[in-house]
Structure 1
């Protein structure tokens, strides 16, 4: 359990789970408390807000809200899937709300999805309170395992075309998913030409941390990039993704699979498009300069 209580105070939830919580907090009005429980791994809180809708909080950090979850789920899913020529077999680490599984299962090239979520309670509350995301668990393409994703990666070498790590911040149970050893294990779990995509924090608050991630993965993967998306409920309004390939000279900024407007409608996409894919890799000048120093 985290040192801070997840209980809303005076009708407001204040996020204290960000990496820079000593300097930055985000407060959201609680218009209705849905659930509060403690699993074997973390504190879990669900509440309603008149703007954000239903909100999921793990260890005092907002994970997703009904308003803007599509910006995160669609981007972390389709950036790697549409950068790979033939993403047939996909592994999801984390993602207990079901959002990534929902999006990955939409991709016409994907045939099989394995998901490893360590905390069964997150899946339970998501099915109960976030059915618009947990619908991903109903996909016939998906096999859901309640297991340590890190260990699963170690035990399954050269099996996946794409691996998506949908983790919380590098605190508590997720801290091992940001270590060099984990990225090495991901590399070995990929097939030739395989791609990983991992949650990689905000460049506004965590640029030194992102630079450190680059120093960890560049000796392992020949192609490395950072992509960005806008998520209103996260403290900086921005979150990024580390995306890496076993192939050299991959142009992540140009999707290999381009969804037409009709495709986007058919796949029920709200945020992702080919234009958003390309723009995700256009970074502010100061970020571009700092990451190119690594």
Structure 2
């Protein structure tokens, strides 16, 4: 047991009882406490650099691309022309890095509440924070609720890259948030929110999908594999104002040349389709909500 105490970072949380994710660490590169949370960047032995917020792993250089690509391209490639995109959260910059790659996207607006996360990413996570310097992107530091309240009917796609529903991200999981996102969308708009894991948080997933279904006529749930997240899996709640959208069939399919140009490591059209194929126990729990109305 000493190996779990010396030279290892262990993620222990109430949301995944009885489980511990431990990553072997070389050094602590950065640590600060912002107005919202504790921010740490660690150098790990095998997973590159790792961002931790309030003791919870947010991303590692080893596998971050799976999450960033899927939360970005599932909604972007489901929309026929996602010209203007809003990112809520995503302070590490990874989602911005992916969103700006989509050829239809002309403008990306990002609203992150914690400047300390952005500052840490820019200094210690350059492979992710590269998105912040792209000319398509404008970054606003502030509250996402307030920002969307001031920007009604503006966006084709809204992507919420949030931490878990403890601390500053808690409000991003409630019904009022989905209602507010709807009001900030253009006709036919799509939302995609970080949707936790069905293995430890199926009740939370159900509640999120239920909240979304009250404001969007077309709702779906997808998931991806991220080894350094609890259970190795994380999901996404998607909603569209266009009830004719079929999330399982991408409206945009990248060519092999585009995939190489975009340096995609995980996302492709087949993974897109498969992401919506849910295990039976999840289907049974969500079946009454995952339908077009």
Q: What's the TM-score once normalised by structure 2's chain length?
A: 0.95
Change (3 A) 1:213 1:144: same
Matches within 5 A, 1:1-294: 9-17=5-13, 19-20=15-16, 22-294=17-289
Runs of 4+ in 1 over 4 A off after TM superposition: none
Structure 1: gaps of 5 or more residues: 1-7
Distance 1:18 1:269 in 2: 34
**Cα displacement string for residues 133-152 of structure 1 (whole angstroms, at most 9, x for unaligned residues):** 00000110000000101111
Deviation at 1:292, TM superposition (A): 0.5
**Cα displacement string for residues 50-92 of structure 1 (whole angstroms, at most 9, x for unaligned residues):** 2211100011111110010000000000000000001000000
Distance 1:219 1:118 in 2: 26
Distance 1:55 1:178 in 2: 24
Distance 1:155 1:9 in 2: 48
Deviation at 1:273, TM superposition (A): 0.6
Deviation at 1:23, TM superposition (A): 2.4
Distance 2:255 2:280 in 1: 30
Distance 2:267 2:168 in 1: 29
Residue in structure 2 matched with residue 4 of structure 1 by the alignment? none
Distance 1:174 1:249 in 2: 31
Distance 2:50 2:144 in 1: 25
Is the 8 Å Cα contact of residues 17 and 59 (structure 1) preserved in structure 2?
A: no
Is the 8 Å Cα contact of residues 24 and 46 (structure 2) preserved in structure 1?
A: no
**Cα displacement string for residues 157-179 of structure 1 (whole angstroms, at most 9, x for unaligned residues):** 11000000000000100000011
Is the 8 Å Cα contact of residues 153 and 186 (structure 2) preserved in structure 1?
A: yes
Deviation at 1:217, TM superposition (A): 1.5
Q: Alignment length, in residue pairs? A: 286
Distance 1:283 1:189 in 2: 29
Alignment root-mean-square deviation, CA: 1.2
Distance 1:278 1:215 in 2: 22
Distance 2:212 2:157 in 1: 16
> Is the partner of 2:88 in helix, strand or coil?
strand
> Is the partner of 1:67 in helix, strand or coil?
coil
Distance 2:238 2:157 in 1: 10
Structure 2: gaps of 5 or more residues: none
Distance 2:13 2:184 in 1: 30
Is the 8 Å Cα contact of residues 211 and 291 (structure 1) preserved in structure 2?
A: yes
> Is the partner of 1:197 in helix, strand or coil?
strand
**Cα displacement string for residues 87-106 of structure 1 (whole angstroms, at most 9, x for unaligned residues):** 00000000010000000011
**Cα displacement string for residues 89-125 of structure 1 (whole angstroms, at most 9, x for unaligned residues):** 0000000100000000111000001100110010111
